Structure 1
Amino acid sequence: MVWFSEVEHLRGFAALAVIAVHVSMNYTVIPVVNLLALLDVFVYIAAHFAVPVFIVISGWVLAARYAGEYSIREFYRRRAKTILIPYLFFSALYLMVTVEGAFGFAGVPSPERVAEALLLGTAAYHLWFFVLIIQLYLLFPLIVRGYDFFDRGGAALYLLLSLLFLQVLWNAGAHLLGAFAGTEWYTVLIRLFVSHLFYFVLGIHVARHTGGFRSALRSLSPAGMIAAAGGGALLLGGIWMAAVLHYGSIGGSSLAVFCVYRLLEPLYYVPVVAVLVLAAWRLEEGGGRSAGALRSFGEHSYGVYLVHPLVIAAGAAAWASLTGLSWADWLTYPVIFAAAAVVSYVVVRGLSGVPYAGYLIGGSRVRMGP
């Protein structure tokens, strides 16, 4: 299999963005809508490119690894080993340990709660990703054959545009159905593979046309791509800041705001992927400690993703006990973000060398994605 030097850096960027999302989301406990809360809302929305980037990487690397003939049985065996074991273990852990609100022991869950958590990824706020990626892995042999069929006919870009249109309609429809038929409909629909299928197939397209992708990206103006990504962040972040300022919270915003957001989000995420690839190239070419640190962080991003909610919750509790500062204070956010990134990485890096621990938190061969 051909390896892509930019992948580990992309994983590193995405893992840092995930931590930023889960730190900034604590704006909800700030009692008033002030400047700190609005800034947190902006970071929360702007950093949501993390999951689309991970999905693109998954499609990219899977399509490269399984480009020719391969054993379907071996494919599913490898996917089960890297995904199901950590998902089951950490679902059990987060069902018993509270990482939202007060940090502590949650007690033994009921069978109904266990079943819901495993089906919907609700044991903790970040495990929904596993429900999504498991579906994409299960369907990968069909998806990649469908892509190759269109690609051989010269219609790969038509397929991508069609999937983009379908995904936007699906996600907006999930909000509509959730508003009129019950929030449980949104919870289910937004976790189905269609909600992120465009990004997965985009990764497959990059794997099949890596040379053309790199040439096309190098031909574009870096300043233009940065402006597009920055403009998208300002637009989406600004929409939600205005909504929170008007309605008092994201959850209390009107249905129209949610639907407009779903219509616009891919126009932000796609330029962000391009900018992050350019940044990865720049780091690769420059080398140095920063490039090495981000690469190593990306190599351990799977484990970082799994453990960072524990570090955030424990760190926030310790920080409040030592300093008296809470999520309503400015200094809390950069401190907890830095602590979550560093401590999560150190823990995962340390455990990755322990026999069999790699199956749970990701060793050097078990990373976010395939």
Structure 2
Amino acid sequence: MVWFREVEYMRGFAALAVIAVHVSMNYTRIPAVNPLALLDVFIYIAAHFAVPVFIFVSGWVLAARYAGDYSVGEFYRRRAKTILPPYLFFTAFYLLVAVEGTIGFAGVPSPERVAEALLLGNAAYHLWFFVLIIQLYLLFPLIVRGYDRIDRFGASLFLLLALFIVQILWNAGAHLAGAFAGPEWYTALIRLFPSHLLYFVLGIHAARHTDDCRSALRSIPPGWVLAAAGAGALLLGGIWIASVIHYGSLAGTTLAVFCIYRILEPLYYVPVIAVLVLAAWRLEETAGRPAAATRSFGEHSYGIYLVHPLVIAAAASLWASLTGLAWADWPTYPAVFIAAVLGSYAGVRLLSGVPYAGWVLGESRVRREPLQ
């Protein structure tokens, strides 16, 4: 059996982090820089490991499934069936339904707006991920072939180091381009595959060297791994908190802070990936309800990722109407987070039983394609 069961735990952790990011990002609606806003800034930055983890898992699963000879045409057919129906459906949906802060009708979009949403994944704040993953799917046969060739020469670790440097330069360069050539340059560059290629190839490396990766991780004291991830969270979160305090808002932050963040972020995300693998092992060993709940959440993470902005917006609107509390109030954040976690999971579980809804939600993906 390929190292597969841990993947569902990691997807579950990443899905929880995505919801945390998209709840805490409403700190921008707090009119003053106060302890609540600063806490939300920290959570917002610290939970940003979610997409790198999803990209890592995607590379890992694809490389484990498509090892040796395989039909490239069949690969593309399966990936298209997995990614295109959800992306097209939810792009159309979120073009009509606004989910920024609260829920509402966004109006009928123009053809130009539809084209922009499809190309940039900006029909809603989370769909940019699909633009990125589509590129990685399209390039996967070339990427994995290149990795395998380099790996045969025993140079895979040098490849990862090179990608580490290239990714930092690319992402810092995207901010520079946005600052000097216009924000549309940043919007486009940060959605191109080099911005997350390190994590994808790291997943391929884990699939090709599963036993070695396991042994290497087990040889490191767990406390050291946790300390590295915790230090990264404190460092990156602290940089943004200091910046918000100094400049009064995230929008006022200087270009230098953005570039420093891009330089440091891989040094945080890679240890976090290791921590999540260790957590998956611990849950798998102990079993019980927490393990089952995390795995189930991970199994449905694709659908949860698609619907959670709708649930967040609906929960925030309902919460405000029932309590009179808004995003500037402390209780709103845990209440909306819990509602989003439970509501997204319950909604996806309910809809997955509806005929053909599974294709739109991506619910046919993992359980119909076991790795073994």
| TM-score, normalised with respect to structure 2 | 0.98
Distance 1:202 1:286 in 2: 27
Structure 2: gaps of 5 or more residues? none
- Spell out, residue by residue over 1:44-87, the C-alpha distance to the aligned partner (whole angstroms, 9 max, x if none): 00000000000000000000000011111110011011101100
- State the 1:219 CA deviation: 0.6
| 1:358 maps onto 2:364 in alignment | no
- Tell me which residue corresponds to 1:44: 44
Aligned positions of 1:265-304 closer than 5 A: 265-304=265-304
- Tell me which residue corresponds to 1:105: 105
- Tell me which residue corresponds to 1:30: 30
Amino acid at match of 1:27: Y
Q: Is the 8 A contact 2:352 2:363 kept in 1?
A: yes
- Spell out, residue by residue over 1:220-249, the C-alpha distance to the aligned partner (whole angstroms, 9 max, x if none): 010000000000000000000000111122
Aligned positions of 1:61-210 closer than 5 A: 61-210=61-210
- Spell out, residue by residue over 1:87-130, the C-alpha distance to the aligned partner (whole angstroms, 9 max, x if none): 00000000000001442111110000000000000000000000
Q: Is the 8 A contact 1:348 1:362 kept in 2?
A: no
Structure 1: gaps of 5 or more residues? none
Amino acid at match of 1:145: R
Distance 1:225 1:3 in 2: 20
Distance 2:366 2:332 in 1: 32
Amino acid at match of 1:312: I
Q: Is the 8 A contact 1:63 1:207 kept in 2?
A: yes
- Spell out, residue by residue over 1:287-329, the C-alpha distance to the aligned partner (whole angstroms, 9 max, x if none): 0000000000000000000000000001000000000000001
- Tell me which residue corresponds to 2:315: 315
- State the 1:361 CA deviation: 1.1
Distance 1:25 1:134 in 2: 25
Distance 2:62 2:364 in 1: 17
Distance 1:284 1:2 in 2: 15
Amino acid at match of 1:330: W
Distance 2:156 2:129 in 1: 26
Amino acid at match of 2:334: P
- Tell me which residue corresponds to 1:254: 254
- State the 1:146 CA deviation: 0.5
- State the 1:366 CA deviation: 4.6
- Tell me which residue corresponds to 2:341: 341
Amino acid at match of 1:257: V
- Spell out, residue by residue over 1:119-176, the C-alpha distance to the aligned partner (whole angstroms, 9 max, x if none): 0000000000000000000000000000001100000000000011000000000000
Q: CA RMSD in A?
A: 1.2
- State the 1:4 CA deviation: 1.4
Distance 1:7 1:364 in 2: 16
- State the 1:21 CA deviation: 0.0
- State the 1:2 CA deviation: 2.7
Q: Is the 8 A contact 1:359 1:366 kept in 2?
A: no
Amino acid at match of 1:24: S
Distance 1:364 1:344 in 2: 17
- Spell out, residue by residue over 1:254-305, the C-alpha distance to the aligned partner (whole angstroms, 9 max, x if none): 0000000000000000000000000000000000000000000000000000
- Tell me which residue corresponds to 2:327: 327
- Tell me which residue corresponds to 2:222: 222
Amino acid at match of 1:195: S
Distance 2:236 2:242 in 1: 10
Residue 327 of structure 1 aligns to a residue whose secondary structure is coil
Q: Structure 1 stretch 225-234 or stretch 242-251: which is displaced more? A: 242-251
- Spell out, residue by residue over 1:190-212, the C-alpha distance to the aligned partner (whole angstroms, 9 max, x if none): 00000000000000000000000
Distance 1:250 1:141 in 2: 39
Distance 1:358 1:332 in 2: 32
Amino acid at match of 2:197: L
Residue 249 of structure 1 aligns to a residue whose secondary structure is coil
Distance 1:366 1:109 in 2: 34
Distance 2:7 2:260 in 1: 31
Distance 2:46 2:194 in 1: 22
Residue 146 of structure 1 aligns to a residue whose secondary structure is helix
Q: Structure 1 stretch 9-18 or stretch 352-361: which is displaced more? A: 352-361
Amino acid at match of 2:105: F
- State the 1:250 CA deviation: 1.5
- Tell me which residue corresponds to 1:53: 53
| TM-score, normalised with respect to structure 1 | 0.98
- State the 1:364 CA deviation: 4.9
Residue 319 of structure 1 aligns to a residue whose secondary structure is helix
Residue 196 of structure 2 aligns to a residue whose secondary structure is helix
- Tell me which residue corresponds to 1:237: 237
Distance 1:101 1:299 in 2: 27
Residue 353 of structure 2 aligns to a residue whose secondary structure is coil
